[in-house]
Amino acid sequence: MNWQVIILLMFYMIGFSSCINDKTPVEAEYRKINAEEAYQMMQSTDGFILVDVRTAEEFNERHIKGALLIPVNEINVRAVDELPDKNALILVYCRSGARSANAAYDLVDMGYTNVYDFGGILNWPYETVDKSS
């Protein structure tokens, strides 16, 4: 076998094995979107996790249907158990946007790769669950 064939086979094997073993990590980064974009994602995607990072009192007054309550001051402790899939689509909101940004940054720092902060429920024009419901 000539050396050119051997080199071609080596490149083929290296290229083939890299395709099989390609486990390129997904970059964890903070992403800010608006309420409309979040709503569209919720309508077109199965399996998203909606996280409300306000207090229990605020949540009980009004929240988005299907939201999981994890107050921002508990996100670092509870995320590991309540959000086990670090690649899941996670949509985060609060009242006005400050706490959701903090929580989203915390999740990204913890290695969550698909986190979107859409700000506050004050800017959510869609249906919510409120105390009178």
CATH number at residue 103: 3.40.250.10
CA distance linking residue 35 with residue 16, whole number of Å:
43
Between residues 23 and 85, which one has the greater pLDDT? 85
**Domain of residue 31, residue span:** 25-130
Percent of the chain residues topping a pLDDT of 90: 76
pLDDT at 56: 98
Domain presence at residue 13: no
Q: pLDDT at residue 117 above 60?
A: yes
pLDDT of residue 18: 41
Residue 103 zone, left/alpha/beta (φ > 0; ψ -120 to 50; rest): alpha
68 pLDDT more than 80? yes
What's the mean pLDDT in 123-129?
Answer: 97
Tell me if 8 is assigned to some domain: no
**Total domains, the chain:** 1
Q: In the structure, what pLDDT confidence band is assigned to residue 6 with cuts at 50, 70 and 90? A: low
Q: What's residue 16's pLDDT?
A: 41
In a domain, 45, yes or no: yes
Annotated catalytic residue, options 42, 53, 70, 94:
94
How far apart CA 101 and CA 122 sit, in angstroms, is: 15
User: What's the mean per-residue pLDDT of the chain?
Assistant: 87
> Do the Cβ atoms of 92 and 51 come closer than 8 Å?
yes
Q: Is 19 a catalytic residue?
A: no
Residue 18 domain-assigned?
A: no
Inside any domain, residue 7: no
In a domain, 107, yes or no: yes
How confident is the model over 65-72, as a mean pLDDT? 98
pTM, to two decimals: 0.80
pLDDT at 95: 98
Is 90 exceeded by the pLDDT of residue 69? yes
Is the pLDDT assigned to residue 47 strictly greater than 60?
yes
